[in-house]
Structure 1
Amino acid sequence: MAVIADFMLVYLPAPTISLRPRMAAADAGRIAKFFYNCPDNAFQIALPGTSYSLLQRIGAIARNGTKLFAVGTISSLVGTVVTNAVLNAKKAVDKSGSEEVENLPVISTSVAYGVYMAVSSNLRYQVVAGVIEQRILEPMLHQHKLMLSAMCFAVRTGNTFLGSLLWVDYARLIGIQKAHEEVPTPKVHEA
């Protein structure tokens, strides 16, 4: 689940270069044409001779959010089903399990992860690629490509860790993950 989601999470909302094939204008509808003409990233600097309207920039967020919702939901669906299968196999083998572990709710967990990726992950990576990398780091370090790559790697890695922390908080907030109960500290009696 994480491998698929992480790859798509980095590529879809913030590709380094556009790998979109040319669209045949006659075959595309109005909505497809609109989304095709949106930038790859909402904060992307327009190349000379092009410009993007506010609506096109919002379209980039919507387009990438839709893709990330699908990727998040499907990857979580696969991951949750596999996790539940492993848990059930463990329960069947180890009947003396001192701790009863519940199966994860498949649909609600998967949809929640899809929503999380469509909103939080999408916006964070668009800011990272379009604002931090393209508008801040690139102008400062354009002559130091190795340093630029290292800084981009560090920022994206930090964003991934931030995303993991936010996911746990989000999952707790909506009730699909329970907070660990604190184990009471044994009291020491003085003699």
Structure 2
Amino acid sequence: MAAQLRFSPLFHSKIFTGNCRPRTGKISGLSSLLPTTSSLSWSPALSLLPRASIPSQAFTAGGGGNDSGGPGHRGSGGGGDHGGDGHSRDEPERSDLVGPIGLFVNGWRARVFADPQFPFKVLMEELVGVSSCVLGDMASRPNFGLNELDFVFCTLVVGSILNFVLMYLLAPTAAVSASAASSLPSYMFEPGPFSLFSRIGTFAYKGVTFAAVGFAAGLLGTAISNGLISLRKKMDPEFETPNKPPPTVLNAITWAMHMGLSSNVRYQTLNGVEFVMEKALPPAGFKASVVVLRCLNNVLGGMSFVMLARITGSQKAVSDEAKAGLISHGSDVVSAAESADSELQSSDSHLK
């Protein structure tokens, strides 16, 4: 469900060149309308961000080469403080919180400072991306998933966590300098002087990263889902789930395989397709095509995960177990009939 975790070409309209002026092109307004990532495709870590990051020079307030519409622009004119409070205009405010919460809050502020549309993109990705994924998940199950709503709920929880974590990791911050650009392309088919080894390395690196995030989110999401179902059973002793809860570790491994294989392949392919469409279609047609492709990609991601979960056995429906029981029982009946027939034949031979 998620091949569009990237910042090229959709995000490249926000990347500044040496003279600190944004590039222009067909898709200059698209990044403000669409989230730059998508569900169940999930992303590289911060070490790969410099290629899609904004130079720190682009955030210096005051006169000069910055356009007023640039991301993270905080007003104009001279000065360096916000009303004398000690915070520079070219840096996001820091939180007084400590520990993991403080790190998260400061990271969130840095991302919003670099891209004011970041909260909106996260919201749209959670609503549209996860909804498309769940739709594909339900469409792949018997009776449109109504008999396996516990599995669908687990997919919803894991997908929501995956989307947020990967968008957070991919988002640029003002603190990352363009001089630290990675030698790897952001996706396999990105235009540029990249060697075949570098492109293969990008595919492998993204696959490992996607798998790691998928495993972590699978562990957390499955534990949350199973915990909520257990809490419901304690509150309502008569409540019974239609299926056995998915094993936490096995379900997390399934998510890791799905992210490293299916999502990674779709991520690379979709980025290449969008690059070709950008060159061939007018801006309006390109935007509409991207929306359609991303929704279809998320639906396909949900369907592919259900197929993989059936193969690994992480999500076994009662109907599947009943079929397996019937098959086993039928084989036992056949073997018993064959043994009885052989006994009759031997008794007939003795009588003769």
Report TM bin, short chain. Answer: 0.7 to 0.9
Amino acid at match of 1:138: E
Task: Name 1:30's counterpart in structure 2.
Answer: none
Q: Which amino acid aligns with 2:294?
A: R
Does structure 2 retain, via aligned residues, the 8 Å contact 1:42–1:57? yes
1:134 aligned partner: 275
For normalisation by structure 1, the TM-score amounts to 0.73
Structure 1 gap ranges (5+)? 25-32, 184-191
Q: Does 1:40 align with 2:186?
A: yes
Q: Does 1:3 align with 2:3?
A: no
Q: Max radius of gyration: which structure? A: 2
Note the C-alpha offset of 1:138: 1.1
> Could you tell me which residue of structure 1 aligns to residue 332 of structure 2?
none
- 1:3, CA displacement in angstroms? 2.4
> Percent same amino acid among aligned pairs?
30
CA distance in 1 between counterparts of 2:297 and 2:266 reads 7
Write out per-residue CA displacement over residues 57-109 of structure 1, whole angstroms, 9 at most, x where no aligned residue: 01111111122112111111111111111111111111123556433211111
Q: How does 1:108-187 map to 2 (within 5 A)?
A: 108-130=250-272, 132-135=273-276, 137-141=277-281, 144-179=282-317, 181=319
* Unmatched 5+ stretches in structure 2: 1-157, 323-352
C-alpha spacing 1:104/1:44, structure 2 compared with 1 (3 Å): same
TM-score (ref. length: structure 2): 0.42
Secondary structure, aligned partner of 1:181:
helix
Distance 1:125 1:153 in 2: 15
Q: Secondary structure at the match of 2:204?
A: helix
4+ aligned runs moved over 2 Å, structure 1: 6-12, 19-24, 97-104
Counterparts in 2 of 1:178 and 1:115: CA distance versus 1, 3 Å: same
C-alpha change, 1:16 and 1:81, in structure 2 (3 Å) is closer
CA drift of 1:4 comes to: 3.2
What amino acid sits opposite 2:280 in the alignment?
Answer: M
Q: Does 1:92 align with 2:238?
A: no
Change (3 A) 1:94 1:177: same
What is the match of residue 66 of structure 1? 208
Offset, 1:175: 0.8
